[in-house]
């Protein structure tokens, strides 16, 4: 397989904990350059591999490293601005979520990607998590039937203050956390997104978002999320037209409730269901989707084929995010709650600085 | 304690499986008469106790048995019509759910009860289930904080055709099944019910109901229910303003997620939570609420005090049911989907016939 | 069905919480007399049924009440002595566990029962618990194969002092608690009991018993029990020659691990297993076995057929109990630890007094 | 931190799936040489890193690569023979389990290590699994008290035939699988191993091993393991003198049962327990212990300090393995069942060939 030359941007917690270890163990990938506004942090790459150029100047990296692709984990303004630069040079781009702040910015990025004819990707790791792939396979079978409803519960404890220079804690939360679950709703909902209804409840610095989506397929999604929980957790259920329900708990355990189930020692019998759990030694970055998202991105780069979690794929998700913010503002009789600070600053620490893991 | 003289109406499955065994083991209660349109079925009481009058004529029972209270498990039209007769004679009334078909009928029953100054009760056993009482105690503590959101999932596989002579499967389902969960939403929501939004999805004979309720307390409820599931199951979650979430699974297991938790062997530590489960020999009719609902009803009868699951308590629940039916009809551009058949027939098998357990 | 006339002996906690409610809701059974050394306690029966003779004199009850059977929940010395009296009069006998203190006493009781040709029963409710019957059905199928090993974990927190006038906490624990689990081992083990190995560990007043049994069937049992736990709990696993393992947790949830399992949405796939749980409204005394044990006992009385949990059925269990006590004494270099106090006292409070629920 | 130069031996499934990805993402480690009897397989390292020498000649690697340590995943005869060569050159040695076939061989290895004054390690990843470290921390607290009993259940489906040229499926199973769980028993048992009792049951090609261990600390271990299960699973329980019990399920979920437990919304209340589960995105090689085992090994190499899972640490475990094999032979009236084939062959495919993941 072709070896791809990869440049890394932003060597913060999310990169060091999840993306970097995944890249290091991925075949046919070479990390050839690292860019971070903090050169000392960039230099930490040398604890892992020796022959890597480091820089705090993204333009220099683009000019000198002969990159096939960049992988970034930065604040959104950096994702947005550096992605545009990279795409302009024909370099494929993978960014951690969120890729940018607004739907308008996303549309701009999509246009730039189309023009540059590069592959783009966003780190929607939930979508590539191993059990999620099992759910996708299950829900596509004829036996499962049509997806009728998806219930998504995404519990978080942060952010409780605006991130990345934004004014809005709500938008920060949606971009940092709920983006995953909204994207899952869109992914399993199928067809065109038709209806969006949302409600935001607040208590002190915490918020709770209820969301209902309707799709042209006839499927509906209900999502409960927010920062009013003690820690990050996640569960989901999918109901089908064939009276099946599949549950995913903790991104790990799967239960399938189906009208007819049995075992060889009972035959078909009431209230028996199928349960799946991973092996005791299941390890690595497959479960959480970090391996899958990058592996498929690089496949797409090699084959110049579409990548499922492209910038473009996030259009419905960003429409939902805008709509939630808009509806919340309208209710609050408040004019624009969203105002980006320093949206075009370049090469400032705030923007080349590495991403903290917000989950 | 005063011994109460009780008459039973309708010795079908629900009575024989749940209410009768509960009554038989309840102190200071005497079953003195049994009425059923099928006299043979009425006579089955003699397998359990000897000195009980049996009849197929409710008026005769009222006239001769010197009853303190009647306990009924019949179709709703019988609940409605016989309750009115009993109340007119000053007899306290406990009926299985549903007590009647419509909000208008419920209001009529409430008026009659007020006039007769009797205690009324409906078999809302979920509300009296032992773990539900634990949840009510927990959610009332200062530590738990304000209830912000309640998520109720109530999975059922029936009815898939109209019950009791109704035209509408939807209304039949709401009265037979969802009535419990809507009532729980009202109970935990607190304050006045303000907003009702609902959506009904259908596939062949199955339906799926999504419901959102808003209360003056600021709490919201989301309820997912329907008949598109393989078997009856139930779970719920309550989110509080203090970042707590309590989960109830299978009306049995409780988990409390809270910001600070620990054990004596770990101290306070992240991702630890409290879990409760019943003992291996927990038995009887406490768990499912059949004991609690009748015990509290008879307490109210003895003390002439209010009973929490009175006819009147169901007003918000019936408003929700009407609203769901109305909204569904409106969407379907269909005029009246609800039409009761033979709503005033008296003493017909259809109406004195005993109630089947629809769960 | 023939109505049976039943006398109750000992109206303490265990009778009032489990056996009495079961008897009250059981068809074709009439409680006609109640005997308790405390007449006031005996009189509590009148809160439930009116026409019942009460006495503190067991002989009088036997002479006057024309009983088919007695059901007792007393200390073991009462079970033993009163059973002998009842059997001598041809009255069938059901006693709570334990029926007596020693293997020698049990053998004496068995002899008396044989002579009297009466049906005897002991309240081995675990054996009749609903999920246990499911396990027995499953393990008897050809698909399950031969039972190879049974692992029984029975966690308790008491007794931490001798009961019933015994000198030995160990024997008290074995008779009050472990008797259930040893009996389950014997039941599932099958064939003749061949090997018994045990070890007792102590810490302050608590003890921990490890037991290994071997059967002529080739099956083995390992049992971990004791009073070194915070509360009563129970779980078990059965391994078969066909590489199946069935787990029972909390006397309620069943999981079957089998080499080939699947769902209609996955086909056969690795790590899928079958899981069963009861419905949310499963109620009554079926789960815990109190209903089943009495129902089958009265069936045996009616048909003069053998009852599975007869005095005789407990022979291997008492052999195991004797062996554990013996081995423990031997290790401790202590001579007889067991000495019964007042083993033949009759009609004393200690012996007619009702049984407390020790679980 | 000092960068260590590491040579890899055996690039089979276990190395590629678990050890190699762990090494690639570990800071301050450089893989500088790879040895495999199959040079093509050795060359697969170049898919991950460029500048690595490959060879099929272990002596050559030792002579030319200036190694600090070797990490091997081969059949046991290779571990044994190559470890001796490496140690003779002063190279620190980490081998996958098992390090050799017999207690005598292990003692020889220990002697060689002592002479060479090198750090040795065996891949006892269970011991380093993240939840196991949590258990070790918990069980060492004063609040937990003394460990009284450890129950280990280790379910496997293979091997069902002898491995590595051995004659004995039993020894193969013990060395490939049960070695982990026996080592855990030794680790948590504490003090000196005093008693070993074991029983082996067989059905066709499957076997079931029951093991009881006693320690000078007073703690006992019961272990149930074997190949009579449908798939690999693992659970354990530890009982303490303070009436606590901690459960570990699936090497992931922890439950602590303790006499006094509560939540802020309930206060202390009966049957509440503490439960811990990982976050939905917990990733990497921490859970399964592959990261921890190598990280601590390299720490020991850097500091010339003892490594907990050294060759020497496995002495009690190998004594147990010998004893199980011996007792089983004795019962079977069979003379030596163990006979190693070609125990001293060098550089044959059978011996330099890479290890398959046997779990």
CATH number for the domain that contains residue B332? 3.40.50.720
Name the H helices within D122-252.
125-128, 130-139, 169-173, 179-189
Cβ neighbours of A63 (radius 10 Å): 11
What is the band of D355 on the pLDDT scale with cuts at 50, 70, 90? low
Give percent helix, percent strand, percent coil of chain C, each to the nearest 5. Answer: 35, 25, 40
Predicted pLDDT of residue A332: 72
Same domain, B228 and B145: yes
Strands B253-257 and B245-249: antiparallel
CA gap B197, D210 in Å, rounded: 60
Q: Read off the pLDDT of residues B291-327 as tens digits, 9 standing for 90 and up.
A: 999 999 999 999 999 999 999 999 999 999 999 999 9
**Confidence at residue A333, expressed as pLDDT on a 0 to 100 scale:** 52
Q: State the Cα–Cα distance between residues A144 and A158, nearest whole angstrom.
A: 36
Give the end of a domain, one of D233, D252, D274: D274
Q: Which band of pLDDT confidence, cut at 50, 70 and 90, is reported for residue B336?
A: very low
pLDDT confidence of residue D286 = 94
**Which of D208, D222, D258 faces C230 most closely, judged by CB atoms?**
D258
Q: Count Cβ atoms below 10 Å from residue C1 Cβ, excluding itself.
A: 10
Binary contact (B230, A244; C-beta < 8 A): yes
Whether the pLDDT of residue B340 is over 50: the answer is no
Name the phi and psi angles at C129, rounded to 5: -60, 145
Tell me the nearest-neighbour CA distance from B217 into chain D, angstroms: 20
Per-residue pLDDT, averaged over D41-68, amounts to 97
Q: What is the mean pLDDT of residues B143-168?
A: 98
CA distances from B139 to A45, B234, B289, D335 (A): 50, 19, 19, 68
Instruction: Select the residue from D242, D266, D280 to test the B interface by mutation, using most B Cβ atoms within 10 A.
Output: D266
Q: Which residue has the higher pLDDT, D352 or C282?
A: C282
Indicate the residue of D261, D265, D271 with minimum beta-carbon distance to B143: D265
**Does C47 sit within 8 Å of B27, measured CB to CB?**
yes
> Taking a C-beta distance cutoff of 8 angstroms, is the pair B149, B223 a contact?
no
Q: What does the CA dihedral A308, A309, A311, A317 come to, rounded to 10 degrees?
A: 110
Find the closest chain C residue to A143 by CA distance.
C265
Whole-angstrom distance, CA of residue C288 vs CA of residue C132: 9
pLDDT tier, C1 (very low <50, low <70, confident <90, very high otherwise): confident
Please tell me the distance from the alpha carbon of residue B355 to that of residue A338, in angstroms, as a whole number. 58
Which of B234, B243, B244 best tests the A interface by mutation, with the highest count of A CBs <10 A?
B243
Examine residue B116 and state whether it is found in any structural domain, yes or no. Answer: yes
Higher pLDDT: D345 or A103? It is: A103
List % helix, strand, coil for chain D (3-state, nearest 5). Answer: 35, 25, 40
| In a shared domain, residues D62 and D115 | yes
> Is the pLDDT assigned to residue D241 strictly greater than 90?
yes
Average pLDDT over residues A333-359: 38
B156 shares its domain with B87: no
- Same domain (yes/no): B121, B134: no
Residue C270, domain member (yes or no): yes
Q: What is the pLDDT of residue A331?
A: 84
Q: What 8-state DSSP symbol labels residue C209?
A: E
pLDDT digits (tens, 9 = 90+) for D255-278: 999 999 999 999 999 999 999 999
Query: Residue D78: which of D293, D313, D347 has the closest Cα?
Result: D347
Structure confidence at residue B346 as a pLDDT band (50, 70, 90): very low
- How confident is the model over A224-278, as pLDDT tens digits? 999 999 999 999 999 999 999 999 999 999 999 999 999 999 999 999 999 999 9
Q: Nearest residue of A to residue C267 by CA position?
A: A138
Domain boundary residue, one of D248, D274, D300: D274
* pLDDT greater than 50 at residue D3: yes
With 50 as the cut, is the pLDDT of residue C289 above it? yes
pLDDT for A99-150, tens place per residue? Answer: 999 999 999 999 999 999 999 999 999 999 999 999 999 999 999 999 999 9
Calpha distance C199→C327 (Å, rounded):
8
Q: Which residues of C touch B287 (CB under 8 A)?
A: 282-283
Residue D255 lies in a domain: yes
Residue B343 has pLDDT above 50, yes or no: no
CB pairs under 8 A between A and C: 84
Work out the burial of residue D73: count CB atoms within 10 Å of its CB; fewer than 13 is exposed, 13-18 middle, 19 or more buried. buried
Say if C282 falls within a structural domain: no
Torsion of CA D343, D349, D355, D356, to 10 degrees: -120
Query: Does one domain contain both D66 and D188?
Result: no
- Sorting pLDDT into bands at 50, 70 and 90, what band is B341? very low
Chains touching chain D at 3 or more Cβ pairs under 8 angstroms?
Answer: A, B, C
The tokens of C197 are what? 């190995």
List chain D residues with CB under 8 Å of C230: 243-245, 257-259, 261, 273
- pLDDT tens for each residue of C85-141: 999 999 999 999 999 999 999 999 999 999 999 999 999 999 999 999 999 999 999
Is residue A98 reached through a cis peptide bond, with omega within 30 degrees of 0 on the bond before it? yes
Roughly how many angstroms between the first and final C-alpha of chain B, as a whole number?
34
Supply the pLDDT for residue A225.
98
Cβ contacts of B303 within 8 Å, gap of 6 or more: none
- Of the CA atoms within 13 Å of residue A338, those in its CB half-sphere come to 20
- Do both B264 and B296 map to the same domain? no
The answer to whether residues C118 and C74 belong to one domain is yes
Q: Does residue D328 register a pLDDT over 60?
A: yes
For A30-57, write each residue's pLDDT tens digit: 999 999 999 999 999 999 999 899 999 9
Q: Say if residue B323 is in the same domain as residue B205.
A: no
Buried b (16+ CB within 10 A) or exposed e, A238-257: bbbbbbbbbbbbbbbbbbbb
Quick one: which H or E segment has residue A233? strand A233-240
- pLDDT of amino acid A357: 45
Q: How confident is the model at residue B1 (pLDDT cuts 50, 70, 90)?
A: confident
Residue D333: the pLDDT is: 52
Strands C206-215 and C220-226, sheet pairing: antiparallel
Does the ipTM exceed 0.90? yes
Contact yes or no for A188/A259 (Cβ under 8 A): no
Cα–Cα distance, D82 to D62 (Å, whole number): 10
Structural domain tally of chain D? 2
Q: Which residue reads 């750090």 in tokens?
A: D119
Q: Are A215 and A189 in contact (CB under 8 A)?
A: yes
Contact list, D47 vs chain A (CB under 8 Å): 1, 27-28
Would you give the DSSP letter of residue C313?
Answer: G
Please state, in angstroms and rounded to a whole number, the distance separating the CA atoms of residues B312 and B113.
9
CA–CA–CA angle B347, B348, B354 (5° rounding): 90
Structure tokens at D78: 């290779």
C236: domain CATH number is 3.30.360.10
Q: What is the mean pLDDT of residues B123-149?
A: 97
**Rounded Cα gap, residues B261 and B244, in angstroms:** 11
Query: Are residues D297 and D242 located together in one domain of the fold?
Result: no
Residue D354, pLDDT above cutoff 90: no
Same domain (yes/no): D79, D185 = no
Chain D hits for C155, CB-CB cut-off 8 Å, are 245, 257
Q: Are residues B12 and B114 in the same domain?
A: yes
The reply to whether residue B148 touches residue A241, judged by beta carbons under 8 angstroms, is: no
pLDDT value, residue D353 = 42
3-state secondary structure of D131: helix
Residue D1 confidence (pLDDT): 80
Chain B and chain C share a number of CB contacts under 8 A equal to 90
Asked, for residue A288, whether it belongs to a domain, the answer is no
- Assess whether D8 and D116 both reside in one domain: yes
Domain that holds residue B270: 130-277
Name the token pair of B2. 């005063």
Q: C355: pLDDT confidence band, cut at 50, 70 and 90?
A: low
Nearest to A250 among D28, D51, D280 (CB): D280
Instruction: Return the closest-CA partner of residue A174 out of A57, A70, A49, A314.
Output: A314
- Closest Cα partner for B243 from D135, D85, A227, C212? A227
Q: What is the pLDDT of residue A355?
A: 53
* Domain assignment of residue B114, yes or no: yes
- Cβ D120 vs Cβ D71: under 8 Å: no
Residue pair D113/D87 in contact (Cβ under 8 Å)? The answer is: yes
Give chain C's mean pLDDT. 93
Question: For residue B283, is it within any domain?
Answer: no
Q: What are phi and psi of A174, to 5 degrees?
A: -65, -40
Give C277's contacts (C-beta < 8 A, 6+ positions apart): A271, B250, C252, C253, C254
Statement: residue D297 has pLDDT above 80: yes
- Considering only residues C100 and C343, tell me which one the structure prediction assigns the higher pLDDT: C100
Is D281 among the domain residues?
no
Domain C-terminal end among B277, B300, B334: B277
Cβ contact C155:C233 at 8 Å: yes
**Beta-bridge partner residues of A356:** none
Backbone torsions φ then ψ of D193, nearest 5 degrees: -75, 120
Q: Which two tokens stand for residue C342?
A: 């007042």
């Amino acid at each position: 397989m072709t070896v791809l030359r990869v440049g890394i941007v932003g060597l913060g917690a999310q990169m060091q904990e999840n993306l970097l270890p995944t890249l290091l163990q991925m075949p046919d990938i070479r990390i050839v350059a690292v860019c971070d506004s903090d050169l000392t942090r960039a230099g930490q790459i040398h604890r892992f591999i020796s022959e890597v150029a480091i820089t705090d100047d993204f333009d220099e990296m683009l000019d000198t490293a002969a990159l096939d692709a960049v992988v970034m984990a930065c604040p959104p303004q950096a994702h947005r601005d550096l992605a545009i630069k990279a795409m302009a040079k024909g370099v494929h781009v993978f960014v951690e979520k969120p890729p940018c702040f607004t739907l308008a910015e996303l549309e701009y990025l999509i246009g730039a990607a189309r023009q540059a004819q590069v592959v783009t990707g966003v780190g929607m790791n939930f979508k590539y998590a191993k059990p999620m792939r099992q759910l996708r396979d299950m829900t596509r079978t004829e036996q499962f039937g049509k997806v009728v409803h998806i219930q998504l519960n995404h519990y978080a404890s942060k952010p409780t203050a605006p991130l990345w220079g934004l004014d809005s804690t709500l938008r920060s939360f949606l971009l940092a956390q709920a983006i995953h679950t909204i994207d899952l709703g869109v992914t399993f909902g199928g067809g065109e997104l038709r209806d969006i209804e949302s409600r935001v409840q607040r208590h002190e610095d915490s918020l709770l978002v209820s969301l209902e989506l309707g799709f042209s397929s006839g499927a509906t999604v209900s999502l409960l999320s927010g920062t009013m929980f003690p820690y990050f957790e996640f569960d989901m259920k999918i109901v089908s037209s064939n009276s099946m329900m599949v549950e995913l708990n903790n991104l790990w355990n799967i239960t399938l409730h189906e009208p007819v189930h049995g075992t060889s020692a009972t035959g078909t019998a009431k209230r028996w269901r199928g349960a799946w759990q991973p092996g005791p030694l299941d390890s690595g970055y497959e479960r959480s989707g970090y391996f899958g998202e990058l592996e498929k991105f690089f496949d797409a780069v090699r084959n110049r084929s579409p990548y499922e979690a492209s910038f473009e794929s996030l259009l419905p998700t960003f429409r939902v995010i805008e709509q939630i913010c808009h509806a919340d503002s309208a209710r609050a009789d408040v004019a624009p709650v969203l105002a980006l600070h320093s949206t075009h600053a370049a090469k400032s620490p705030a923007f080349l600085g590495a991403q903290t893991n917000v989950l």
